[in-house]
Amino acid sequence: MRFVFILPDLVTGTKRKILEQVQRRPRLSNVPLVRRVLEHPLLYTHVAWGGTLNLMRHAEVARRLGADVALATPTGRDTYGDTWGLYDLPYIKLADRRPDDVVIVPDYASDLADAMQGPVIVYLQVPIHLYANFDYMADKVTLWTDSPFMLDKCQKVFPGKDIPIVPNVVDCEMFPFVEQRKRSEGVIFAFPRKGPDYIAETRRLYEAAGGKYWHFELIDGIPVKELAREYTRPQAFLASADIEGCALPPQESMAAGVIVIGKNARGANFAMEHGRTALIADTPEEAAACLREAEDAALRESIAANAHEAISRYFPDRDPSEFWRANIDKYAG
């Protein structure tokens, strides 16, 4: 028995140019030439998304527990390498999967589920990719999701199916805890790819009110390993996404001792509890006020400690290992 996790190939050059055109004009995905180059267009990407990294982490947890695992991509090559890859996991071509493999299909490629011969798990991590485009009620199909927010969405699209909430995997070795007092004073990270207007307006309002403590650093497009090295510096992270999938950045911040200020992404950032594990601010006005509040060192230290304790349940040797032990036993039986 083998667990096979389907991932997209990370592409550059000509394939990336074709992919970008298809993303702008989805109808191009049906052009024969495009199909020959990309096969399944959604199994190619020029960004290593958080959901993909979460799948890699799940594969590593299962492997550490003794399971046979593989990552399956269209090419069968490790296109992530040292830049984006997390672990030294084996890769296979998607076409080379075996009939008895337990295949974990990402939500954006859920239309592949019907083609799997053996057990198939469709992992529903992102609200924009919930499609009933496969026989989800089939006995061979299991559905997973990753938060109470996502569960509510999934139950509307896939009624009548039991859908467990799967623990995210937060890598505490990659994001080790560093105390607030050992961090760079006043540095706050923000990801402009998510909610740039919210970030800009929060910053403007904070500075207009006389705030001088926080210094914003906008982080975009750097590999997760480099990001992890950078995460030893900031004291805070501004969560700016309206909607999240597996919401790894806030959770990795909590693991690292970085306090999270900002949006709870309509509940997707479920580990955020205002005043205890984070400071929730759904508007720039609220965020600017929270930044002033977070100038207090004692408050930051309290939130950082509480957040680390709360998120520790998702460290690899805790809830994720318990979850995978149960599934290894289930499918082996």
> Does pLDDT of 35 surpass 70?
no
How far is it, in rounded angstroms, from Cα 233 to Cα 256? Answer: 10
The pLDDT, as a whole number, for residue 33 is: 64
Are 250 and 188 members of one domain?
yes
Are 106 and 56 members of one domain?
yes
Are 328 and 245 members of one domain?
no
The CATH number for 136's domain is: 3.40.50
Give which of 177, 140, 146 is closest to 163, Cα–Cα.
146
For the segment 29-55, the average pLDDT, to the nearest whole number, is: 80
Torsion sign, CA atoms 286, 288, 289, 294: positive
β strands within the chain, DSSP E: 2-6, 9-10, 44-45, 68-73, 91-93, 102-106, 120-124, 141-145, 187-190, 215-218, 236-239, 259-262, 279-280
pLDDT level of residue 37 (50, 70, 90 thresholds): low
pLDDT level of residue 26 (50, 70, 90 thresholds): confident
Segment 85-133, tens digit of pLDDT: 789 999 999 999 999 999 999 999 999 999 999 999 999 999 989 999 9
Are 67 and 10 members of one domain?
yes
How far is it, in rounded angstroms, from Cα 159 to Cα 30? Answer: 30
Does residue 253 fall inside a structural domain?
A: yes
How far is it, in rounded angstroms, from Cα 96 to Cα 73? Answer: 10
Are 213 and 154 members of one domain?
no
Number of domains in the chain: 2
Does residue 227 fall inside a structural domain?
A: yes
Segment 245-286, tens digit of pLDDT: 778 899 999 999 999 999 998 777 888 999 999 999 999 999
Expressed as residue numbers, the domain containing 230 is 180-313
The pLDDT, as a whole number, for residue 196 is: 96
> Does pLDDT of 15 surpass 80?
no
Are 146 and 232 members of one domain?
no
Does residue 174 fall inside a structural domain?
A: no
| Adjacent-strand bridge partners of 226 | none
Does residue 17 fall inside a structural domain?
A: yes
Are 250 and 207 members of one domain?
yes
- Tokens, residue 190: 């923000």
pLDDT level of residue 333 (50, 70, 90 thresholds): confident
> Does pLDDT of 36 surpass 70?
no
Segment 213-250, tens digit of pLDDT: 999 999 988 888 899 999 999 999 999 998 887 788 99
The pLDDT, as a whole number, for residue 269 is: 83
The pLDDT, as a whole number, for residue 197 is: 97
State the average pLDDT for the chain.
Answer: 92
Are 267 and 325 members of one domain?
no
For the segment 71-90, the average pLDDT, to the nearest whole number, is: 90
Are 133 and 146 members of one domain?
yes
Contact at 8 Å (CB) between 224 and 47?
no
> Does pLDDT of 199 surpass 90?
yes
Are 71 and 30 members of one domain?
yes
Query: What per-residue string of b and e applies to 95-116 under the rule 16 or more CB within 10 Å gives b?
Result: eebeeebbbbbbbbbbebbeeb
How far is it, in rounded angstroms, from Cα 321 to Cα 331? Answer: 15
Are 38 and 159 members of one domain?
yes
Segment 44-70, tens digit of pLDDT: 888 888 899 999 999 999 999 999 999
